[in-house]
Structure 1
Amino acid sequence: MKESAETRFFLGTKKGFYALVIITAFMLLNNILATTLFAQAIQATAAGAGAGPAVVDVGSGLNYGPKTTLKPMPLAQDEQPTFQGFRTRVKALPTISELAIAPSSSDLVQDLVNNIIPTGVPWYSDEAGGVTFDDPIYAQQTWGPYEETIQLSGEDEQRWSTIVNSFTCDYCCGSPQQPTIITRCGCAHAKAARGMARWFIQSYGDKFSDEEIYGEMAR
């Protein structure tokens, strides 16, 4: 977009500079509040996320089950990390898809691998372009374009913003000490997660909660 002389003049003045600072600060505050408030909402529902059958308690208030997964999340306001210096904390999340729980191997780490890393075909596969848990690369390539092709409006767009501005990229970006929110990450994983959120809000936003969509993204 070509700037007018008036626009360049305004931005070059002290008032223009202060206006730009205020707008930038407001946008940053909005993102921080969205992240904190959604983390608090997840914290409030996490305790009941594993209320269904076959839930496995792994201690420290965490559990997994057919429709419950685990994922690092940004700390809620005044929440303390499990490990000093961490700015995320692993929490139980309700999901949309349901997985069969593998029998215990008497090895907690192996049990987590067997049951937190999903396999198989989710019930929404055909509708979503044939995505499967067994082919994460194809799923990533399928979910990603939905970020541009699916247009949301009004409350749905706000729902999407709340979800994605609280979702951390746990693959190639950030760390527990310096988590990266997927709206500030350029990797393909983050793009796929953003597209996935749009698809679920458009297709099943009236059936599933923000927390369930968030949990399914964590699959």
Structure 2
Amino acid sequence: MEKELKTMKNMERAAVILVILVVATLTYTQVMVNKVAAMASSGEFAQQAGSAGNEAASSQTSVIPTGMPRLYGEELGVSYDDISPYDQRKADEAIKRLAYLDNYIELAPEELERYIKIGMQISCEYCCGAEAIIFRNGQAACGCAHSYAMRGVAKFLLREHPNDFTDDEILEELGKWKTLFFPGQMQGKAAALEQNGIEFNYINLASNKYRGIEQGLSAGGGMVGGC
């Protein structure tokens, strides 16, 4: 009998402890729920999440241009968004549209002078490896589709918008298209520029000014559109 009473007391004690634990757990859970709800209503939670997201994004900021190019985008029916590794067919069509301009437009002497100055500053080194997309006489130095497209953009802007774009602005446009053609390599080069304290712009990124600075760093490869 005494043994049975002792067993019952132990069971009662265990039941009391279990009830206490359950109550404590429920209380803690409710406190945390109330805290999260208060943070959400005040916007604090969103701010903290946004801050963490911004920190992650800052180290992986994309260099890919998006949207419609100024002036000539609507005129030619092309967008930076046309060049995507997820739609090679659309990318090839856009590249062909720009490349056609290289063969179609014959530059006047004063246009050719600017064209040579611009074209000698940028290359297609990830594809054909040429020193620049043109020779010093203005003739094509690389036969890949990417070079044709960049030359086409330069010729069109010199012909149709000679006063709307400076030489550097045209070079920047070529740099944007080159970045779209070689997104992995350009992302790696952007990281190298940042590590060396060099300002980001599309001339620094895509022209020959800092060509090869990304060598030795881990960078993506591949290209968008046919070579």
TM-score interval, normalised by the smaller of the two chains: 0.3 to 0.5
Structure with greater proportional helix content: 2
Q: Give the TM-score, by structure 1 length.
A: 0.45
Structure with greater proportional strand content: 1
Q: Which one has a bigger Cα radius of gyration?
A: 2
Q: Give the TM-score, by structure 2 length.
A: 0.44
